[in-house]
Amino acid sequence: MADKNGFKTFRKKLKFWIADLRVLEKVVPLRLNMVYYLDPDKRIIKFLHRHHVMTLATCRDNCPWCCQCFYTYVDSLCGLVFTSDTTTRHITEALQQPLVAGSIVLETSVVGKLQGIQFEGKLFEAEGELLKEIKTAYMKRFPFALLMDTKLWFIQLLTMKMTDNRLGFGKKLYWERLK
């Protein structure tokens, strides 16, 4: 009897998971070519949630540029949300070339505690239901942003590499969005 109930529970969870994917399909515009992915390693997700400042890198005409932004990680979309004015150099460049790179690091002088993430992603301005979801996540993390006239941007993560020396010197964890 336990197996039968266990199977029913599994079927229910699977049904909700498939329903969530269908909702996600509607939320994310098709023009983004959003694909389904396996969740990143839990250590990567934990690190992303524990930190709040990223370095974002853009490039135009072979001239690189980087900036620092407050961000929040959205688990359900496997992406980063941040705010920035449309007139900034990094946003104008990203609108012309939406593939961006960045890093999130733990500042430490102890080599054995070194941790950081390097990522690649596709940056775009969120609209509709997606905007509602990411705005909720960002305002929850940074309530003071309610007082500002903010423009939210979303980075759909494509690849991540986490270095975590606590797991052994130079230990790397990799994640890539399935194509």
pLDDT in tens, 118-155: 999 999 998 888 888 988 888 888 877 666 777 899 99
Alpha-carbon span 178 to 120, nearest angstrom: 14
Contact 115, 165 (CB under 8 A): yes
Element housing 134 (H / E):
helix 128-141
Tokens of 128: 């509709």
The Cβ-side half-sphere exposure at 60, using a 13 Å CA radius, reads 12
SS3 assignment, position 119: strand
pTM of the model: 0.75
Element housing 176 (H / E):
strand 172-176
Higher pLDDT, 162 or 7: 162
Tokens of 62: 């072979």
